[in-house]
Amino acid sequence: MRLSEEELINLGRQTVRNQAQAVSQLEMQIGDAFAEAVACITNASGHTILCGMGKSGHIASKIAATFASTGTPSFFVHPAEAFHGDLGMITRDDVIILISYSGETDEVNKLLPSLNEFGIKTIAIVGEAESTLGRHAGITLTMKVDREVCPNNLAPTNSTLTTLALGDALAVALMEERQFEPGDFARFHPGGSLGRRLLTRVRDVMHINKLPLVKPGTPVPETIAVMNEGRLGVAIIVEDGDIRGLITDGDLRRALIEGADSLQKNCDEIMTSTPITIDADERFADAESIMLDRKINSLLVTDRDGKLAGVLQIYDL
């Protein structure tokens, strides 16, 4: 290697510091135009289209994906393809965000006359407000950087990172405007872990077979036998489907610590008479929160009539 290991590490750290500084300078460039852009996108009845060439195109594609997954219908259109027919994908109900750091990207600027003729609202993200794109867009957002972190000040690095940060800022503002909630996010991400947690209902994962059930008045030794057979670490005291109480491993241990006399008692004397329950139709994520907040290992599940429907275990989370 031409550089030593220490030099490489220092170079990596210096690059990150430089980019962090570039992004921090973006804060003071966000002003009235940003609020106008958010309002424009929020009030549009159609889609928000992202368009950019080269590295800016890759950033535009990522911003479109972020918008689409957070409540703002969006997609990416390549400027060259748009100029050769894909403009038909864009309607006057849409908003298009055109990205070009120089503001002079020919493939992007060539679209402006057609977009204006069609009455499509345009937002520019540029480094220079007085560039061709900056001057001709309906709303112009600037994100100027001092220089690229590239040693030759050529490869888009700080400029693309700052553009991405500005796109994320727009996405977050739009989420707030639309009151976008975790449940909404889950609907757009059904295949992800968050989607599964938020879309899964308690009834989908609760235990329903061979539940460890005992009747009121059951002797403790018999209750212990039912607990062992059920292998859920609990015994549920029920009468005609109604929950009368719950005995956990912890309840049993505390009772036995008091002495052998506990074995002469019945389940009613050592049970928790008002156990925590959750409706079977509630979200799995809500059950998870209850169990973690209350520090309990088992949660009884009820149906719409309040009858016992199943058991949820901490190990199911």
Predicted confidence at residue 176, as pLDDT, reads: 92
pLDDT of residue 34: 98
CA distances from 259 to 88, 122, 219, 286 (A): 82, 79, 16, 38
Quote the pLDDT of residue 1.
67
**Confidence (pLDDT) at 40:** 98
Q: Write down the pLDDT at residue 104.
A: 97
Q: Where are the beta strands (DSSP E) in the chain?
A: 48-52, 74-76, 95-99, 121-126, 139-142, 213-214, 234-239, 242-248, 277-279, 298-302, 308-313
Binding residues: 78
Domain span(s) for CATH 3.40.50.10490 in the chain: 5-180
For 281-304, letters b (16+ CB in 10 Å) and e give eebbbebbebbeeeebbbbbbbee
SS3 185: helix
Would you state the pLDDT for residue 263?
A: 87
Q: What pLDDT, on a 0 to 100 scale, did the predictor assign at position 216?
A: 96
Angle at 63 between CA 101 and CA 113, to 5 degrees: 55
- The structure's pTM equals 0.68
Q: Sign of torsion, CA 57 60 62 65?
A: negative
Measured from the Cβ of residue 314, the count of other Cβ atoms closer than 10 Å reads 15
| Residues annotated in a binding site for Zn(2+) | 78
Task: Report the chain (317 residues): mean pLDDT per 10 consecutive residues.
Answer: 88 93 94 97 96 96 94 94 90 96 96 94 97 97 92 88 97 91 70 69 91 95 92 93 93 85 90 94 89 92 95 84
DSSP state of 147: -
Contacts of 191 (CB under 8 A, 6+ apart): none
In this prediction, residue 151 carries a pLDDT of 84
CATH class for domain 5-180? alpha beta
User: Which pLDDT score, from 0 to 100, does residue 259 have?
Assistant: 81
Specify the DSSP class assigned to residue 281. T
Give residue 172's pLDDT.
95
Sort residue 75 into left (φ over 0), alpha (ψ -120 to 50) or beta.
beta
Predicted local confidence at residue 189, as pLDDT: 65
Span(s) in the chain for CATH 3.10.580.10: 202-316
- pLDDT value at residue 10: 93
Burial class (CB in 10 A: 0-12, 13-18, 19+), 44: middle
Residue 3: CB atoms within 10 A of its CB come to: 10
CATH of domain 202-316: 3.10.580.10
